[in-house]
Amino acid sequence: MNGFKTEVKNFKQKWPEVRFVDLLFTDINATPRGKRIPIEAVEKIEKGVYLPLSTISLSIEGNVVEEAGLGEALGEPDHICYPVPGTLTPTFNPEVAQVMLTMMDESGTKPTELSIRNVLMNQLEQLHQKGQYPVVAIELEFYLLDKQRNALGGIQPPLNPVHHDREHRSDVYNVENLDDYSGFLRDLNDTAVQQGLNTSGALSESAPGQFEINFNHQQDVVDACDQVILAKRLIRQVAHAHGFDVTFMAKPFAEEAGNGKHIHLSVVDQAGNNLFSDPQGEASPFYYQTLAAMLAMMPDSMALLCPSVNSYRRFSASMYTPTHANWGENHRGVALRIPMSDSHNRRIEHRIAGADVNPYILASVILAGLLASERFTFEQCPRQLTDNAVALPLRMPDALIKLASSELMSMYLPKPFISLYLACKQRELADFEKAVTPLEVDWMLHSA
């Protein structure tokens, strides 16, 4: 019996109450798309499922971005997709399971380079050929919200499930607050275990109703990103079941902390030795080369790490969100933080991205820095906390211009993917800028 059929057989035995399976494929914004099929038909998807190529290029509103050239211009062609091994898992709904799909190119023989998940897999193959094995851990922040809007139609923090008053205080790492949300957190953690998610629990973050879920370090970078996709889906399902809304917006509240998605990176060799440390336990030249490469690529990669206008509202020096391409040891105000660790655990924490970033894109930007490290010398790494650090583009149009003209990024990410991404984001930006906001009306209605 082949691998997927065995996976299906074992799943049915363990979860006999499941009646349907959601086939999931992520678009360029990492939004899960797909279809729901009866459990009896799930074995057939081993032979492939056809989905429109244009599903990659859906906007944040779920519309095909025709400027990307994958829709009407091509006649909406289908491409075959295959199940990702090991991703057939239960969901919070006991009658519904889920499995992830990966899309092939037009020949059907190899993964399409227009899908960032496939790009990430190719980057990993290149690094493994060099004897470098990235290890990552991801931190994901989110807000629980009241499903009811406030009197002005805006979102608002939730009502505390125990005290029934509205959350209003910033109370970082408050364990008592976790007790108040124990029902939500218990269901979240229990289902995460059932799904095999590599999480290490949740904590209360720095704003009313804000939480963070941490994932353990692991060497399978693609699987780490897959788990973020499934975790976000799970958090939404559990939140709604407990009467909450939830958001992963980078900056849902103007005066509160934003939602980040930080990623910790170390690199080991085949024997498990940390390549960021030399045999004496000191920081290695490769470590400084990697820092230099990541910092050099940072301004050009901002558009990839910050996918919407809202993403840029998160950046503020007073909120521990970096505005310059800098680094520092044990300092949360920099772009690349070096956490306290010994030589075995030496790692880099990349702190640019918000919770709205596509996790595969985030990881691909990180791995691009690893691949580019050989172009830099350790002497090119700037001093930590330097006053001369390059300012990052903090407006979406500026960041898109930087990406469009970047020679360095196009060396490590496929040009067709970058072109696709730019087309989608330029269309989203154009649509956003057409909207007349309430603030404009307030300011200009009688003063213009």
Per-residue pLDDT tens for 419-440? 999 999 999 999 999 999 999 9
The dihedrals phi and psi of 171, each to the nearest 5 degrees, come to: -140, 75
d(CA 69, CA 79): 15
The dihedrals phi and psi of 268, each to the nearest 5 degrees, come to: -120, 160
d(CA 365, CA 363): 5
Cβ contacts of 77 within 8 Å, gap of 6 or more: 52, 53, 106
Q: At 102, is the secondary structure helix, strand, or coil?
A: strand
| Residue 136: predicted pLDDT | 98
Among the listed residues 354, 249, 369, the one whose alpha carbon sits nearest the alpha carbon of residue 300: 369
Cβ contacts of 415 within 8 Å, gap of 6 or more: none
Among the listed residues 68, 15, 65, the one whose alpha carbon sits nearest the alpha carbon of residue 39: 15
| Residue 423: predicted pLDDT | 97
Output the pTM of the full model: 0.96
State the DSSP code for 201: E
E strand or H helix that includes residue 324: strand 324-325
Per-residue pLDDT tens for 241-263? 999 999 999 999 999 999 999 99
Q: How confident is the model at residue 179 (pLDDT cuts 50, 70, 90)?
A: confident
CA-only gyration radius of the chain, Å:
22
CATH number, domain 125-413, options 3.30.590.10, 3.40.718.10, 1.10.150.110, 3.40.50.300: 3.30.590.10
d(CA 187, CA 193): 10
Q: At 418, is the secondary structure helix, strand, or coil?
A: helix
The upper half-sphere exposure of residue 285, i.e. CA atoms within 13 Å in the direction of its Cβ, equals 7
Q: Which CATH architecture has domain 3-109?
A: Roll (3.10)
84-98, 120-134, 194-208: the lowest-pLDDT one: 194-208
Per-residue pLDDT tens for 316-355? 877 789 999 999 999 999 999 999 999 999 999 999 999 9
Q: What is the dihedral of CA 37, 41, 46, 50, to 10 degrees?
A: -40
Mean pLDDT of the chain: 94
Contact 263, 362 (CB under 8 A): yes
Q: How confident is the model at residue 1 (pLDDT cuts 50, 70, 90)?
A: very low
Whether the per-residue pLDDT at 173 is higher than 90: the answer is no
At residue 422's C-alpha, the angle toward residues 419 and 428, to 5°, is 145
Equal CATH topology for 3-109 and 125-413 = no
Contact 135, 218 (CB under 8 A): yes
**Domain ranges within the chain, ordered by starting residue:** 3-109, 125-413
| CB-based burial, 234-261: b 16+ in 10 Å, e otherwise | bbbbbbeebebbbbbbbbbbeebbbbbb
Per-residue pLDDT tens for 148-161? 999 989 999 999 99
Q: How confident is the model at residue 189 (pLDDT cuts 50, 70, 90)?
A: very high
Contact 317, 221 (CB under 8 A): no
Q: Which residue has the tokens 């109450």?
A: 17
| Residue 108: predicted pLDDT | 92
Whether the per-residue pLDDT at 69 is higher than 80: the answer is yes
Alpha-carbon distance values, 41 to 10, 21, 47, 88, 304 (Å): 15, 9, 11, 13, 37
Beta bridge partners of 65: none
| Residue 176: predicted pLDDT | 66
Per-residue pLDDT tens for 362-415? 999 999 999 999 999 999 999 999 999 999 999 999 999 999 999 999 999 999
